Structures are given as C-alpha cells and as structure tokens.
C-alpha cells in the first residue's frame, strides 16, 4: 500500500532496492502506475509516513471513519483498507450511506460511538 524511495535506508521510507524492481521518478508515479489497485491518496500518504485526513465508508458500522493518527483521538481511526476510496469530507463520505440520514451519519462519524 505504499512506495519506498531507493536511497540510504532510514526512518522515512527509504530502502535499497534489489534488481529487478521497477523504479519510478516520484511517489505519485509509483502509486498510480506501480500500485493502481491502491487508493492514490492512501498510497501517497503512507509512502511518506502520514495519513490522508480523509474519510472512508465503514459499511459494517454504517458510518465514516477518518484516516488520521489514531492516538489523536476521535474521530481518528487506523484505516488499513488501502483499496477503499477516500473522500475529502465526512459529508461526501456519508453521502454513500444513502439509506441513513446524512446528519446522523455525520454526527456518529465525528463521535466515538
């Protein structure tokens, strides 16, 4: 779900790449061409050790989860489904749960419920 930079190994995503691994000019290109099945926002953020701060649908709990550092508190969650589309706003995300009142979805998604 992420791309690594071919450089001297360190804490920020660098790895020595053995042949025949394909090298790309940027994280964007690596994510879009090298891992097209992974949401590009997810791949780009994880490749630099961060989160998207976007929202993903949690169909099981019928709410949206925010992709941000979990120890930051509510509504942050550890989103690990790298193939799930990520939305910019909780309202946009809740729009996909169209059988639920959007106001209720937004409220539940922003709380610890």
Task: Name the one residue in this structure whose structure tokens are 């964007």.
Answer: 28
Give the model's confidence band at 24: pLDDT under 50 very low, under 70 low, under 90 confident, else very high. Answer: confident
**Assigned token pair, 39:** 């949401």
Rounded to the nearest 5 percent, the helix, strand and coil shares of the chain are 30, 15, 55
Q: Would the pLDDT of 113 be above 60?
A: no
The SS3 assignment for 87 reads strand
75-103 b/e (C-beta count within 10 Å ≥ 16 → b):
bbbebeeeebebbeebeebbeebeeeeee
Per-residue pLDDT, 52: 94
Per-residue pLDDT, 81: 85
Per-residue pLDDT, 8: 58
Per-residue pLDDT, 80: 84
């Amino acid at each position: 779900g992420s791309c690594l930079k071919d450089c001297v190994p360190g804490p920020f995503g660098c790895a020595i790449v053995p042949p025949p691994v394909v090298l790309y000019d940027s994280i964007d290109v690596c994510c879009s061409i090298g891992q097209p099945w992974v949401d590009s926002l997810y791949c780009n953020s994880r490749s630099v050790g961060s989160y998207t701060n976007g929202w993903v649908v949690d169909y099981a709990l019928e709410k949206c989860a925010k992709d941000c550092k979990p120890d930051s508190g509510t509504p942050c969650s550890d989103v690990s489904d790298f193939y799930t589309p990520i939305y910019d706003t909780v309202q946009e995300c809740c729009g996909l749960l169209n059988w639920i009142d959007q106001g209720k979805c937004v409220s539940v998604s922003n709380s610890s419920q």
